[in-house]
Amino acid sequence: MKPPASQMPLTLLKDLQTADRSMLQLTLHLGQYPEDKVALDQYNELSQARQNTRTKAEAAFGPMRSYHTSLIDKHWDWHQAN
């Protein structure tokens, strides 16, 4: 059942938090058992589902980050930032 529109932001946030927690647990597990194919498959499925949820949330509510992930060449140019 689809949640009401007023609950959509909370539902998406909860889904992202649940995926993050599960992915962290799987990351810790895979650190100890790197050959665990089942855990690796679960991680990849969760990662894809999380990306889909994030894309949906950003389409509805805007970017989830206030910063860019690109690298800066030499130094931060404060004049261009404004």
Q: What does the pLDDT read at residue 55? A: 92
CA distance 45 to 57: 18
pLDDT band at 82 (very low <50, low <70, confident <90, very high): very low
Average pLDDT value for residue range 10-30: 93
Please give the Cα distance from 46 to 42 (Å, whole number): 6
What pLDDT, on a 0 to 100 scale, did the predictor assign at position 79?
55
pLDDT given for residue 26 in this prediction: 95
Amino acid 17 reads: Q
Cβ 16 vs Cβ 57: under 8 Å: yes
Segment 4-26 shows an average pLDDT of 87
Q: What pLDDT does residue 36 have? A: 92
Mean pLDDT of the region 60-79: 65
Residue 55 CA from chain centroid, whole number: 9
Q: What is the mean pLDDT of the chain?
A: 81
